[in-house]
């Protein structure tokens, strides 16, 4: 059970602090709605060179302990971050890559995935401007951001598809999307698994995210004594800290980089 705090406004959450002297952080960052603004179609997202350079500098000063947590698959994450190659919990934890490049993938039976894919597409074809994003052949997102009034119908369809998947699939709600994903993995479990590997091991976990899918990661870092930072005004949340927009995230990451650089020079 997630311990959601009933904050009702963005101002109810303070901006996250910077590391204390001697405190070693492991940073986990969502992409869409956190690092970059949400757009009409995921393929339209671009991460500019200055943001990539910022992430690269943070990775170096954090000793490599920087990972992405995203609903996107690993191939898409790598495309957006190129030439960076970072550890990641992708597809809400279904795909995981550690610092050494070792991959862990949770695959349901192919016939079940094919069944869910067909059902999602059939339902989307009946709903105007609802479309299906296939992720690595194992997760299927039904997007309705262009027609928000269709959200209730889309979620009802998604729940029916999950109920007929022989227990393999669950519905993950998100911003303008209902996603069918194999059960058993989430961003919280991906974060916990990465924290058991070098160079994340023994560090204070800090996670930034905007969506409902990030709440499992927020709950995990709160449990482990880390910092959870929600982006935007979505409430309630497990997070104890907040930032308003992706621009605020970039500004805070720049402050974090400056702080880490000064701390390194002082040592």
Taking only the tens of pLDDT, the chain with its 267 residues reads: 566 665 544 457 999 999 998 899 999 999 999 999 988 788 889 999 999 999 999 999 999 999 999 999 999 999 999 999 999 999 988 899 999 999 998 788 999 999 999 999 999 999 999 999 998 899 999 999 999 999 999 999 999 999 999 999 999 898 899 999 998 789 999 999 999 999 999 999 999 999 999 999 999 999 999 999 999 999 999 999 999 999 999 999 999 999 999 987 655
Would the CA dihedral through 151, 156, 161, 167 be positive or negative?
positive
Out of 140, 160, 182, a domain closes at 182
Q: How far apart are CA 130 and CA 36, in angstroms?
A: 23
Select which of 30, 186, 210, 211 is catalytic: 30
Task: Assess whether 214 carries a catalytic annotation.
Answer: no
Do residue 48 and residue 157 come from a single domain?
no
The answer to the question of residue 1 being in a domain is no
Is the peptide bond preceding residue 199 cis, with omega within 30 degrees of 0? yes
Do residue 50 and residue 148 come from a single domain?
no
Q: What is the pTM of this model?
A: 0.83
Out of 151, 182, 213, a domain closes at 182
Q: How far apart are CA 86 and CA 71, in angstroms?
A: 15
Q: How far apart are CA 37 and CA 227, in angstroms?
A: 22
Do residue 158 and residue 252 come from a single domain?
no
Q: 57: domain CATH number?
A: 3.40.50.1000
Do residue 193 and residue 71 come from a single domain?
yes
Out of 135, 152, 182, a domain closes at 182
Q: 173: domain CATH number?
A: 3.90.1070
> What is the domain range of residue 148?
110-182
| Domains held by the chain: number | 2
Q: How far apart are CA 111 and CA 134, in angstroms?
A: 15
């Amino acid at each position: 059970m997630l311990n959601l705090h009933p904050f009702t406004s963005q101002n109810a959450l303070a901006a996250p602090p910077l590391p204390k002297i001697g405190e070693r952080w492991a940073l986990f960052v969502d992409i869409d709605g956190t690092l970059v603004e949400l757009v009409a179609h995921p393929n339209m997202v671009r991460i500019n060179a200055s943001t990539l350079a910022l992430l690269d500098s943070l990775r170096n000063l954090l000793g490599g302990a920087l990972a992405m947590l995203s609903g996107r698959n690993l191939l898409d994450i790598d495309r957006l971050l190129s030439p960076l190659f970072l550890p990641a919990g992708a597809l809400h934890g279904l795909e995981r890559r550690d610092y050494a490049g070792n991959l862990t993938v949770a695959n349901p039976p192919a016939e079940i995935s094919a069944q869910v894919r067909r059902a999602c597409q059939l339902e989307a074809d009946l709903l105007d401007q609802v479309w299906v994003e296939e992720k690595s052949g194992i997760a299927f997102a039904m997007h309705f951001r262009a027609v928000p009034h269709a959200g209730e119908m889309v979620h009802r369809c998604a729940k029916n598809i999950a109920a007929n998947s022989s227990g393999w699939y669950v519905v993950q709600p998100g911003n303008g999307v209902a996603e069918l994903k194999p059960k058993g993995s989430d961003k919280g479990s991906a974060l916990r698994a990465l924290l058991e590997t070098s160079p994340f091991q023994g560090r204070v976990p800090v996670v930034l995210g905007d969506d409902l899918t990030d709440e499992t990661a927020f709950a995990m870092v709160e449990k482990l004594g880390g910092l959870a930072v929600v982006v935007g005004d979505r409430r309630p949340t497990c997070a104890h800290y907040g930032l308003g927009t992706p621009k605020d995230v970039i500004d805070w990451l720049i402050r974090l980089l400056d702080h880490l650089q000064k701390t390194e020079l002082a040592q």
